[in-house]
């Protein structure tokens, strides 16, 4: 388990297991600075969204459902999906 996932698991984001599994797998392929930016986005994003009247909880719930559907439909592991996404981005 990466430090990001350990940190997120202690917050409300800990409820989104599919997202955390994908974040954990992505850490194997992402440079350290991308991992830090993800933590900043996930940490500051909900607070900033509330300032503008938005709700990040719905976004995380939808993302978790989409990742869960992707895992089920593709029968791929989070690690394989993260590797494929990283390859696609590069």
Q: What percent of the chain has pLDDT over 70?
A: 100
Domain count, the chain: 1
Q: Which residues contact 26 (CB under 8 A, 6 or more apart)?
A: 82, 85, 86
Task: Give the whole-angstrom CA distance, residue 67 versus residue 21.
Answer: 9
Q: What is the pLDDT of residues 52-77, one digit of tens each?
A: 888 888 888 999 999 999 999 999 99
Task: Give the whole-angstrom CA distance, residue 28 versus residue 14.
Answer: 20
Q: Which two tokens stand for residue 32?
A: 């350290």
Domain boundaries, position 79: 3-89
pLDDT band at 20 (very low <50, low <70, confident <90, very high): very high
pLDDT band at 45 (very low <50, low <70, confident <90, very high): confident
pTM of structure: 0.83
42 or 64: which leads in pLDDT? 64
């Amino acid at each position: 388990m990466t430090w990001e996932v350990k940190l997120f698991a202690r917050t409300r984001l800990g409820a989104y297991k599919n997202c955390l599994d994908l974040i954990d797998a992505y850490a194997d392929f992402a440079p350290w600075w991308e991992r830090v930016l993800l933590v900043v986005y996930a940490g500051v994003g909900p607070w900033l969204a509330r300032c503008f009247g938005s709700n990040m909880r719905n976004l995380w719930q939808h993302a978790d459902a989409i990742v869960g559907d992707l895992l089920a439909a593709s029968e791929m592991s989070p690690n394989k999906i993260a590797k494929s996404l990283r390859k696609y981005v590069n």
